[in-house]
Amino acid sequence: MPIATLSEVLQPALKGSYAVGGLVTLGWEDMRAFVAAAEAENCSVILQAGPGCREHTPLPVLGKMFRYLADNASVPVVAHLDHGYTYDECALALDSGFTSLMYDGSRKSLKENIEETKRIVKIAHESNISCEGEIGFVGYSNGENSAGTDPAEAEIFANETGVDAMAISVGNVHLQENKEGGLDEDRISKIQMLTSVPLVIHGGSGVPTEQRKRLAHETNICKFNIGTELRMAFGQAMRNAVNKDVKRFDRVSILKETHDPTVAVVRRVLSNLKG
């Protein structure tokens, strides 16, 4: 199937009242398992290259890997840059074949965030791809604190930037290993009364499963980013494979055994979000 843009998977999700998984990848083994899981569930999937992933593998290489998987998949696959912090990084992702750019200006003032996000929306739309922005600040577990999204600012941000998707801070926190981060449903309602842009929840791993499932179907949240939960599943599968035979040194034979357990966990995540 030809590669999809973020809008091409989020607009149907908005209209059909469901959400798509924005799955944080770290390498070939997990991205391949994510697509296999989406095919098994017959739903779209967003492959995300975040800062940690890019530190390990250059963007042009990741672009080729995502595109290869998309071209050979039976379901729509999006190649998404997660947390692009500079214009140059976003431009490189665009040149590398990504079909969606997230520009993260959430640490900046509203004015700067709007101006800089607008620039990325412009280059994205000129190339017929999508752009996600962030308004409010989603903090990090054991790190920076969150600043909740102000609904009035979200409306201004959506209207002035023209983003295709908007990440909001409503109780979600990055890198949570436990499901402690319940979302502020009242704030979500206020935001979606003021804008019809598809909403994105970063830090989806920390959201209780029941709430994630319900909000995927009842609100304008169209994308849940899931990283930690999947890294934990992959890490455990890899540890089991390593420990199974201490003499084994060929990493392909070890990594092969991460595939099925990872697919099983991702299928459960996607089945709760899909339409």
Report the nearest approach of Zn ion to the CB of residue 257 (Å).
29
Pairing outcome for strands 130-135 and 45-49: unpaired
Are 95 and 64 in contact by the 8 Å Cβ rule? The answer is no
For position 80 contacting Zn ion by CB under 5 A, the verdict is no
Report the nearest approach of Zn ion to the CB of residue 226 (Å).
11
> What end-to-end distance do the CA atoms of the chain give, in Å?
20
Q: Which of residues 190-209 bind Zn ion (CB under 5 A)?
A: 202
Q: With respect to Zn ion, which residue has the nearer C-beta, 202 or 231?
A: 202
Alpha carbon distance 239, 59 (integer Å): 28
| Per-position x/- string for 113-142, each x denoting binding to Zn ion as judged by CB under 5 A, each - no binding | ------------------------------
Residue least distant from Zn ion (Cβ): 202
DSSP 8-state code for residue 177: S
Report the nearest approach of Zn ion to the CB of residue 166 (Å).
13
Q: With respect to Zn ion, which residue has the nearer C-beta, 69 or 173?
A: 173
Report the nearest approach of Zn ion to the CB of residue 35 (Å).
21
Q: With respect to Zn ion, which residue has the nearer C-beta, 32 or 202?
A: 202
User: Exposure pattern of 20-55 as b/e (b: 16+ CB <10 Å)?
Assistant: bbbbbbbeebbbbbbbbbbbbbebbbbbbbbeebbe
Selection from 45, 44, 48 nearest residue 62 by Cα: 48
Q: Total binding residues for Zn ion by CB under 5 A?
A: 1
Residues annotated as part of the active site = 82
Q: With respect to Zn ion, which residue has the nearer C-beta, 202 or 223?
A: 202
The token duo for 207 is 């959201």
Name the residues that contact Zn ion, by CB under 5 A. 202
